[in-house]
Chain A
Amino acid sequence: MSEKTVMKDINRRIFLFYTEDGLIDLAIGLVLFGFGGLLFLDMPGYIGVLGLLAVGLWYLGKRRITMPRIGTIRLRQAEKEKLAGFFITMILLGSGVLATLLTRTGGLKSGTLPLLMFALVLALGISALGFILKAHRLYIYAILVFSALSGGNVLNRAVGSTDLFILFVMVAGLIILAAGSVVLSRFLRKYPKVTEETA
């Protein structure tokens, strides 16, 4: 292995801190499943609350599950800025498209384009997250999310009801939640709790 590849591998292993525990999968799955649920209850405006809940659970999981097992790191300033910039861009872009979709175009009854745009932004966001955190399984989630949202919408318009779209979104969320649970249970088996006294 060349010296550059070794450093790349070390960098990848550092970023495993963010993805090896499956908490990010669970957060994405929860948001998607919850989004479907909110659409079913006709309360899509609460997506922000759902996002905050997912971030809160992710943070709590990091502190209670991940850190006692694989420790903690502080990233370099450049990496911190890159991550912060990414999250701010994605939140602004996602909220903008979602707000346009929900307020100005009449929600799910609107044309296909805004919803496709939302699906694309969401899928690109998940892919970019996978790229930044070096977690390639997130690319699969991005494809799944895009397929569920766009496919559901096409079928939805063909049938003339929003139920299929909601079902597709919830099933995609459930699949990601199940994958996250598998990753988390592997992580728990691989890393027992360690303290500096017991290490």
Chain B
Amino acid sequence: MSAAKKKPPDFGVALERLVHEPARLKIMAYLYMVESADFVFLISRTGLTMGNLSAHMSKLEKAGYIEVEKEIKNNRPHTMLSLTAAGRKAFESYRSDLQQILGDL
């Protein structure tokens, strides 16, 4: 059997890829700990660029995991982000899957 056809090890649980990606995981972890945070806060804390953050934000919004609230504040665009109930549940389920995988190590 060639190496390319080898299956990855089966841990018994599957981690959700949308949440598992490191940048999205960071965004979701920060949003999980607060009610909402703005775009600038997530840039300062995650170290992502605006383009990167926007791209990940779109994916999470499309999946229904985050809610994006755009407003104009002092004549400038201001974006607040928060986890939806589905996003909160997805993050909690990701945490418990990860604990299940790593728990016995």
Contacts and interface: CB of A to CB of B under 8 A. Distances in A.
B44 A77 contact: no
A195 B30 contact: no
B43 interface: yes
Task: Give me the 6 closest cross-chain CB pairs, A-B, nearest first.
Answer: A71-B41, A71-B40, A199-B50, A70-B44, A74-B35, A71-B38
Would you call the interface of chain B mostly helix, strand, loop, or mixed?
helix
A11 B31 CA distance: 10
A76 B41 contact: no
Interface of B: 29-30, 33-45, 49-50, 76-80, 95, 98-99, 102
Question: Which of A6, A69, A72, A196 has the largest number of chain B CB atoms within 10 A?
Answer: A196
A15 to B, nearest CB: 10
Contacts, number: 75
Contacts of A69: 40, 44
Interface of A: 3, 6-7, 10-11, 13-14, 17, 67-77, 191, 194-197, 199
Question: Which of A3, A6, A69, A197 has the largest number of chain B CB atoms within 10 A?
Answer: A3
Contacts of B98: 3
